Chains A and B, each alone.
Chain A
Amino acid sequence: MENYQTELHLENEHLKQIITIAQSQLSEARHESLEKEASIFSAKEELREETVHSLANFYSSQGFHDFAALSQYMAPVSDKLNEHETLLSKIQALEMTVYSPYFARIDFKFDDEDTSEKIYIGRTSLMNHKSYEIYIYDWRSPIASMFYRFGTGSAFYEAPAGKISGEINLKRQYEISNGKLEYFFDADIQIVDEFLRKMLSQNTSPKMKTIVETIQKDQDIVIRDLENDLIMVQGSAGSGKTSIGLHRVAYLMYQGLTAKLSSNNIIIISPNTLFEKYIANVLPELGEKNVDSIIFEDICKQLLPHAHIQTRNQLLENMITDIDKNHKMIVKNSMAFKSSTAFIEILNRFIHDIPRRWLSINDIRYGGKLIADRQQLKNKILTEDKTTFLDLRLKKVEQIILNTVHELRKERIKQLEEFVITHTDHPLDKEEFTRLLSIEEITVLIKEVRKFTHLNIPDLYRMLFHDKDYFYRIAKGIHLPDCIEDIIDYTCENLKGDCLLYEDALALAFLHLKIYNYNDYQLIKQVVIDEAQDYNPLHFAILKILFPRARYTILGDINQTIEKQEDLSIYQQISKILGKKNAALYTLDKSFRSTNEILAYSNQFISGDAHIKSFSRKGDIPKVYRASSQSVYEDMLIHEIMICREKGYLSIGLICKSEKDTFQLFAPLKDKLDIHLTTNDSTMDLRGTFIMPVYLSKGLEFDAVLICDTDEHHYHTAEDKKLLYIASTRALHRLNLFYMGDASPLLENQDLVKGGYI
């Protein structure tokens, strides 16, 4: 104890010192920033004064010549803007440092030295800019990796110059907030369990938090992997996949400082907008600019701006609520087939066949003269370099035709002018009338040309399904599902309507990317994909074209699929489609989210023996409650919510099977207590009581979860079992199930509490 007091005193002194240093650097930076703003202002002024004369007649041909001069004044302004931006992020980092400078320390004795060095680790680094003495190491620095990977004893890390070994004599963790040391403790195992348990037993926060203080060894390995260009993580529910993905992004940005990897070069593909909002805070808390995140449907919308597309949630809702078993089978099989590798091959063959079969090429005449022959045009298109995008090949042909027209036009104008003079009574406006005739003639011509140079992809796609014989010819040798006839009919029928099926939109997006040269995302170097089990081969084929130069981090859980089944082979498939040389698959099977009891209960919903390990934390055993009537059912739910609130749980989730069920249950409950209906567009502040369909709850977590309607009617298939798995693994501390009528046969543990609370 005496020892602790001495150490506490030393630590407080050290903290004071560090904060003083950070504060002085902060005020320096703030001062510099003000100066910089002033100089940017004056540089802009100068620019304006020097260039105002050329701006006035800028959009004329003379103005153009002033332009080179103009850009000379511009360069200093843009340089200064850059510097200022860097300074602002430095200020932000220093503010964070003053608030909470570090969270850990290791005392490391390098092999070739006699005394050990104190290494303080924080969210960002702090150093003396003159002496280069480092006061705090960034958690992403090579030396800090030892904190995550080793206990006390011998240890090593990979520095740029090679492996450096030594011995860790002390591992200490701190809780510092608002510049005050709350407590510290020494640990000789990896991040001490007590500390982690304390962090985990806290309630959920409205937004996902950073986990720098508690990153585990196997998580750290994923975060710091730079060798592989495709990293896949199979992580069970609550294993921290998403956190790891985001911390990896922060690590990549830190590593990329020299390689100029910035937030513009990274993109996160997230499953829905709700999730997008939930994770929005993590990167800024890590001191990094937020990177773009996008949901897959937005990619389709970008590529098909005029199409009305069924959303994935609509598709899932339709599948979950479809009562007609046959129809449901077709919907499911249609989605599965049209996003499979077999269908990708069919689409590729179809694209190849378009110029041969589907272009309506005609002879092109101008002023009565044949300027392009049908067969010659076709040969030209077919013999052009096939690696060039079809659209570019067609545009090239169009330009060749137009060039001929432009050459002949002078001569033609003369003829038209003569015609105007002799055959009309507009001698005064002869220039205008001649031009009008020329415009009309060329308009007819260009429309004829564009019949084959401008492709109508939706129409073409329709043709693929329109003629079954053609479809089978194209698909020759490819294994087709038994119900292919039904799928073709179903697809044809839908393509007549004005709303594209989700999977048809994917196929159209793929065709677009294969036919048009689309390079909006050429700059992307890193792609992070969460909930990868939701995607099919076609999704990945699209991503491969969109991000040709990117490295991938792919996070998923084969047990959390909705309306489909997956196994580990999905990762092989992904790897094959993306075609990366160095790929690695990591497995994270320890859950940090739920209590032992909740995990044990959830395990009944996954098949096989891939059961999740828990990080031991105790709680109540989940119970299943049966109500005898609707009113008893509602009372039970309300009673349970009240208990949760009394226990101080901030976020409570009622999870229903479908959106339809959600609406039905929300209606009677909303008048009796404060409860929020969650839809895809809801703003996400996970504090309070929420009711939502299971597919929207994915990736989120709640202190307490109530799974509703767990009766035989709602949950009986293998797919339903996965839904129960997703729903039950959302809970941190408390989980209970409720139903009326007969219990779902999927609930192994039939130890039901009949009558419930009454």
Chain B
Amino acid sequence: MIYEKIANIFAEIMGIDDQDITPETDFSIDSGVDKISVVKLIIECEKEFNITIFDEDVHDFKCIGDIAAYVSTLLAEDVTSALSTDKEREAWFYL
């Protein structure tokens, strides 16, 4: 779900079909993505998921998948801390 939402936001910013976006879609000038579009994506993600993306982490984002992973990690930290045992986490995983 996280990835799809991010892909949607990015498609809108870039004015392209979200079907053309994959987790590997990269943020290079060669792919026609300029820096300001990435910044827009960052700002929109912060609003959508109600999180803070630190400026020092942004240079690690090379593609859509990287942002999805970053956001998932931030959200998952909240989730897994609510599960007290390994077994519960395991059960949750296989649900």
0/1 interface trace, chain A 69-86, chain B, CB 8 Å (1 if under): 001001101110110000
Q: Tell me the minimal C-beta distance from B44 to chain A in angstroms.
A: 10
B91 touches A74 (CB 8 A): yes
Q: Which residues of the partner chain B approach A443 to less than 8 Å between Cβ atoms?
A: 55-56, 58-59
The size of the chain B interface, using a CB distance under 8 A, is 28
**A71 near B88 (CB under 8 angstroms)?**
yes
- The reply to whether B56 and A436 form a contact with Cβ atoms under 8 Å apart is no
Set of chain B residues within 8 Å of A61, measured between Cβ atoms: 50
Whether A445 sits at the interface, judged by CB under 8 Å, is yes
Once A71-B88, A78-B87 are accepted as A-B contacts, the answer to whether A442 and B95 lie under 8 Å apart by CB is: no
Is the pair B92, A74 in contact by a Cβ cutoff of 8 Å? yes
B79 adjacent to chain A (CB < 8 Å)? yes
B55 and A439 contacting across the interface, CB-CB below 8 Å = yes
Shortest CB-to-CB span from B95 to chain A, Å, is 7
Q: B residues 76-94 with Cβ under 8 Å of A?
A: 78-79, 82-85, 87-88, 90-92
Once the chains are docked, how many angstroms separate the CA of A82 from the CA of B78? 26
| Chain-B contact segment, one of A211-219, A254-262, A427-435, A666-674 | A427-435
Does any Cβ of A come within 8 Å of B29's Cβ? Answer: no
Q: Considering residues B35, B43, B55, which has the most beta carbons from chain A within 10 angstroms of its beta carbon? A: B55
Bound form: Cα–Cα A48–B94 in Å: 12
Q: Please report the C-alpha to C-alpha distance between residue A402 and residue B54 in the assembled complex, in whole angstroms.
A: 10
A529 to B58, CA, bound (A): 45
Among A79, A431, A439, contact of B59 (Cβ-Cβ < 8 Å): A439
B1 touches A59 (CB 8 A): yes
Which residues, 270 to 302 on A, are CB-close (under 8 Å) to B?
Answer: none
The answer to whether A59 and B59 touch across the interface, beta carbons within 8 angstroms, is: no
Task: Say whether chain B's binding surface is mostly helix, strand, loop, or mixed.
Answer: helix
Q: Does the CB pair A436–B35 fall under 8 Å?
A: yes
A431 to B40, CA, bound (A): 9
Q: Give the Cβ gap from A404 to chain B, nearest Cβ, in Å.
A: 12
Complexed CA–CA distance, A59 and B79 (Å) = 9
B contact residues around A442 at 8 Å (CB): 55-56
Task: Name A65's closest neighbour in chain B (CB-CB).
Answer: B82
**Interchain CB contact under 8 A, B79 and A433:** no
How many residues on chain A are close to B (CB under 8 Å)? Answer: 36
Nearest-Cβ distance from residue B73 to partner chain A, whole angstroms: 12
Min Cβ gap B18→A in Å is 18
Residue of B nearest to A401 (CB): B56
Pair B36/A432 contact, Cβ less than 8 Å: yes
* Residue pair A436, B87 in contact (C-beta under 8 Å): no
Closest Cβ of chain B to A39, distance in Å, is: 15
Partner among A48, A82, A432, A435 whose Cβ is within 8 Å of the Cβ of B87: A82
B58 contacts A439, C-beta separation under 8 Å: yes
Shortest beta-carbon distance, B92 to chain A, in Å? 6
B16 part of interface (Cβ distance < 8 Å): no
A67 on interface, CB distance cutoff 8 Å: yes
Residue among A64, A67, A77 making CB contact with B91, cutoff 8 Å: A77
Contact A438 B55 (CB under 8 A): yes
Q: How far is the CB of B8 from chain A (nearest CB, A)?
A: 14
Whether B2 is near chain A, meaning CB under 8 Å from some CB there, is yes
Bound-state CA distance A525–B85 (Å) is 20
* Distance A67 CA – B95 CA, assembled complex (angstroms): 14
A446 at the interface (CB under 8 A from B): yes
Given known contacts A78-B88, A436-B35, is B82 in contact with A67 (CB within 8 Å)? yes
Given contacts A59-B49, A74-B88, A75-B88, contact A64 B39 (CB under 8 A): no
Contact B91 A402 (CB under 8 A): no
| Interface assignment of A405: CB less than 8 Å from any CB of chain B | yes
A68 within 8 Å of B (CB atoms): yes
Instruction: Give which listed residue, B36, B82, B83, B92, contacts A429 with CB less than 8 A.
Output: B36
Instruction: Decide if A47 is an interface residue (CB 8 Å cutoff).
Output: yes
Cα–Cα, bound, A75→B49 (Å): 29
- The reply to whether A59 and B88 contact each other, CB–CB distance below 8 Å, is no
Distance of A48 Cα from B1 Cα, bound (Å):
18
B42 within 8 A of A: yes
Instruction: Verify B87–A71 contact, CB threshold 8 A.
Output: no
User: Does B69 lie at the interface of the complex (its beta carbon under 8 Å from any beta carbon of A)?
Assistant: no
Inter-subunit contact B43/A68 (CB<8 Å): no
Contact status A432-B40, CB under 8 Å: yes
Contact of A67 among B2, B39, B58, B79 (CB under 8 A): B79
Asked whether, in the complex, the Cβ of A405 is within 8 Å of the Cβ of B1, the reply is no
Whether a CB of chain B sits under 8 angstroms from the CB of A60 is yes
Min C-beta distance of A262 to chain B, whole Å: 13
Other than A435-B55, A446-B59, give 16 A-B pairs with Cβ distance below 8 A.
A47-B95, A64-B82, A71-B82, A71-B83, A75-B88, A81-B91, A406-B54, A429-B36, A431-B43, A436-B39, A441-B55, A442-B55, A443-B55, A443-B56, A443-B59, A447-B59
A-B residue pairs, 4 tightest by C-beta: A78-B91, A442-B55, A446-B56, A78-B87
What are 12 contact pairs spanning A and B, CB under 8 A? Answer: A44-B95, A67-B79, A71-B88, A74-B88, A78-B88, A431-B43, A432-B36, A433-B36, A435-B42, A439-B55, A442-B55, A446-B56
**Chain A positions near chain B (C-beta within 8 angstroms):** 44, 47-48, 58-61, 64, 67-68, 71, 74-75, 77-79, 81-82, 402, 405-406, 409, 429, 431-433, 435-436, 438-439, 441-443, 445-447
